[in-house]
Amino acid sequence: MSNKKLLIISNNNLGDSLSGGDQIFLNLAKHWQKKFTITIVGSQETKNLLKKHRLSKITFFQTDSYNSKNFPSFLNLLRHAIKRTLKSIFHFFKYRHLYRTEYVYSASDFYPDFFPAFLTKLFYPKTIWLASFYLFAPNPFSHTSPYFQNQKLKGIFYYLTQLPVIFAIKHFSDYVFLTSTPDISKFPHKKVIVVRGGVDITPSQKFLKSKNIIPFEKRKYDAVFIGRLHIQKGVLELIHIWKLVIKKIPHAQLVIIGDGQLESNIKQKIKKLKLSKNIHLLGFMSAPQNYKIFKDSKLVVHPATYDSGGMAAAEAMAWGLPGVSFDLPALKTYYPQGMLKTPPGNLQQFANNIVKLLSNDKLYKQTSLQAAYLIQNQWSWQKRAIKIMKQII
């Protein structure tokens, strides 16, 4: 019996960062190769990701060159969206034979990924459309929106452009890939698959069974943050939180792994609050480079203020790092254990939870074991990919 044909569309990538949606499609592609004949359509950035994740043997068709103007300002994002959307539509009509497939998988809900998949479904109704939809845009006029104060125009644009995508996915897709259980009610239940994400647990399992674990008191970093430096991720709030932490632990060290639009703002805030000796920015790092940091850290902080789940924290928790986060609805199902939850917006309590873990040996060990157990048993990419595949075949 021949393999089924799967076309993955990933045109929207900007810069070298790795989003949660990227991790999902890359790992599904990796673990689905035995059952699917996979073709990927995408930009040069996508091609770079495939090479980095050793997926270069998958058939790939390039739709656009690398976008060097990748600083995520509103104007750059607008230009990027328009250019990539037009190029993706042009590519569809020029190479329609590529899109005649059994399955089409849009890697995100952004227009450059959405439109070719939508057109594929319209022109080839028998094609099964797997539509990714990982985060509902917040109401830009709500005080709880991360865009409300300083980025209202971007928030309005994001919210309005997502509305037709939601309509089309509800009425035309065959399956919707979500990462947040609370979002299930917003789509017809029969179409929903909660993907969440996963972790390659092999390296951390091997490490935790070894004799190479660095003693707690000798670890270089008290906490690690990993993720995009984006307004939704709470990184600016994290700088204030760390100022509160050092009032109780003066030499506490925070390491930040990631890049993004808020990098200059973060540097300014670190300087303003005189935290240069306490906070270290390492830029973007992916596996296995970040493993060394996880091994040398005591806990992971996930201060997202608006999130559909947050896979990044799971990467660190796999190495036995307990976490601290705000008590967001999506995180209740993502991290039911191994993470101390904080009332949203309460920076002092967030700092208190960090101090509590660092100073209470019994609580630390208990939460650390819970974190490792959760990820090792529920977040294996191999198990998750097979489970999802069985739901769509």
pLDDT at 141: 84
pLDDT at 177: 95
pLDDT at 308: 66
CA distance 61 to 39: 8
137 three-state secondary structure: coil
Lowest mean pLDDT among 135-149, 310-324, 337-351: 135-149
CA distance 16 to 72: 12
With beta carbons less than 8 A apart as the criterion, state whether 106 and 120 touch: no
| Residue 64 CA, distance from chain mean position | 23
- Checking if the pLDDT of 341 tops 80, the result is yes
* Integer CA distances (angstroms), 11 to 63, 105, 162, in order: 7, 12, 17
CA distance 136 to 227: 19
Residue type, 378: Q
- Checking if the pLDDT of 191 tops 80, the result is yes
Same CATH topology for 4-195 and 202-378: the answer is yes
Domains in the chain: boundaries: 4-195, 202-378
CA distance 379 to 313: 12
Which has more confidence, 286 or 200?
200
pLDDT at 230: 85
pLDDT in tens, 108-160: 999 999 999 999 999 999 999 999 999 888 888 887 777 766 777 888 888 99
Predicted TM-score (pTM) of the model is: 0.84
pLDDT band at 38 (very low <50, low <70, confident <90, very high): very high
CA distance 46 to 34: 21
Q: What is the mean pLDDT of the chain?
A: 92
Q: What is the mean pLDDT of residues 94-108?
A: 97
Residue type, 302: H
Which of 302, 242, 301 lies closest to 275, judged by CA? Answer: 242
pLDDT band at 70 (very low <50, low <70, confident <90, very high): confident
User: Within a 13 Å sphere around the CA of 198, how many CA atoms are in the beta-carbon half?
Assistant: 24
Proportion of the chain above pLDDT 90, given as a percent: 72
- Checking if the pLDDT of 246 tops 60, the result is yes
- CATH T-level assignment (fold) for domain 4-195: Rossmann fold (3.40.50)
DSSP string for residues in 22-49: HHHHHHHHHHHTTTEEEEEEEEHHHHHH
Which of 374, 372, 322 lies closest to 208, judged by CA? Answer: 372
Task: For the beta carbon of residue 65, count every other beta carbon within 10 angstroms.
Answer: 10
- Checking if the pLDDT of 188 tops 90, the result is no
> Across the strands, what pairs with 254?
223, 279
pLDDT at 104: 99
CA distance 169 to 129: 9
- CATH T-level assignment (fold) for domain 202-378: Rossmann fold (3.40.50)
Bond preceding residue 344 cis, omega within 30 of 0: no
